[in-house]
Amino acid sequence: MKFLRYPGGKSKLLSYLVNHLPKNKDIKGTYIEPFVGGGSVFFHINPDKALVSDLNPELISLYKGIKLYPHKVWETFESFPSGKIAYYDIRNKGTEGKHLHYKAARTLYLNRTCFKGMWRHNSNGDFNVGYGGEERRWVITHQNIVELSKTFRKAEILNNDFEDVILNASKNDFIFLDPPYKPGEKDLHELHYRNGKFLFDEQVRLAETLKSLPKSKRIRWAMTNSSHKDILSLYEGFHIKKIPFGTSDKPGIQTKSSNEVLITNY
Ligand SMILES: C[S@@+](CC[C@H](N)C(=O)[O-])C[C@H]1O[C@@H](n2cnc3c(N)ncnc32)[C@H](O)[C@@H]1O
């Protein structure tokens, strides 16, 4: 079940990715995901011990809310009225002074009913995507939220910058990284995220952080990224595989390139 609509979601590439990532039983340390976003890889691996983080504060409140208060989140989500008027009312009221379970339920409600699942905010940081309809609201159930809560209870959830998360990794941890990028994009811009752009200097900072991990810690990492030559030049000496396009729809048929790569240090 894909419970969240999220830009850059990796669910379409999952069938390819999972063949190149360790399974839960093969991760001796902690599974770490510093750009967790919609979390498709994290949910698939369902690690026994995890640390997930993202700079998007609404996303992290959603995950923490589900982890701690699955029933209250569901009850509040269920109680929000249907329709355009209710949507704008709940959206415009914001979350000031609200409890974590309300924030989580509101984010889930807006995500399931907004236009095309977009995440866009105005300059004040307020969510400003228009109404999209109720068709996708009820694909999630109370039981789904309870199951998600069980997965999150095995994870520490942080709202930190990636550098901080990566540098705190310990011996034998595994890090999966899915930084913001647009496949093949020339300017390496990404405008859809809560925190604006992730430009090339951020890509450089990411590569330097990964390269600074001491070899003695035996930390393995894998990253999806654009196949843009400037990105590839940051990872000379690592293992780089082109991700084939369309593997999940037509298993075994790999026709076009996706302009995305999987880079690993193992
Ligand atoms: C491509 S998305 C991850 C998508 C996710 N793997 C999925 O399957 O849905 C990238 C994420 O990086 C987050 N992000 C952007 N800059 C960041 C930073 N400096 N540190 C941590 N997270 C950041 C964004 O908020 C976004 O959620």
**Residue 186 has what pLDDT?**
57
Residues 221 and 127 in one domain: no
In a domain, 4, yes or no: no
- Angle separating helix axes 84-93 and 100-113, nearest 10 degrees: 140
In a domain, 68, yes or no: yes
Residues 203 and 259 in one domain: yes
How close is the Cα of 36 to the center of ligand 1, in Å? 6
| Residues with a CB atom less than 6 Å from ligand 1 | 6, 8-10, 34-35, 37-38, 40-41, 54-56, 161-162, 178-180, 193-195, 198
In a domain, 188, yes or no: yes
Distance, in Å, from the CA atom of 106 to the CA atom of 80, rounded to the nearest integer, reads: 8
How close is the Cα of 85 to the center of ligand 1, in Å? 31
**Residue 222 has what pLDDT?**
98
Nearest CA to ligand 1 atom 10: 180
Domain boundary among 129, 152, 175: 152
Give yes or no for a contact between 57 and 163, defined as CB atoms under 8 angstroms apart.
no
Distance, in Å, from the CA atom of 19 to the CA atom of 161, rounded to the nearest integer, reads: 28
- Cα angle for residues 168, 215, 179 (degrees, 5° grid): 50
Per-residue pLDDT of the chain (266 residues; tens, 9 = 90+): 578 988 877 888 898 999 999 999 999 999 999 999 999 999 999 999 999 999 999 999 999 999 999 999 999 999 999 999 999 999 999 999 999 999 999 999 999 999 998 888 888 888 999 999 999 999 999 999 999 999 999 999 999 999 999 999 999 999 999 998 876 665 554 444 444 568 888 999 999 999 999 999 999 999 999 888 889 999 999 999 999 864 433 434 444 667 899 999 99
Nearest CA to ligand 1 atom 17: 55
Residues 118 and 166 in one domain: no
Q: In CATH, what number is assigned to the domain containing residue 84?
A: 1.10.1020.10
Which value does ipTM take for this structure?
Answer: 0.95
Domain boundary among 114, 132, 152: 152
Residues 145 and 164 in one domain: no
How close is the Cα of 81 to the center of ligand 1, in Å? 30
Residues 165 and 52 in one domain: yes
* Structure-block tokens of residue 140: 């999630």
The single-letter code of the amino acid at 121 is: H
Cα-flanking dihedrals φ and ψ of residue 188, to 5°?
A: 55, 45
The domain of 66 spans 61-152
* Nearest Cα to Cα of residue 3 among 126, 131, 144: 144
Residues 181 and 242 in one domain: yes
Give the total number of structural domains in the chain. 2
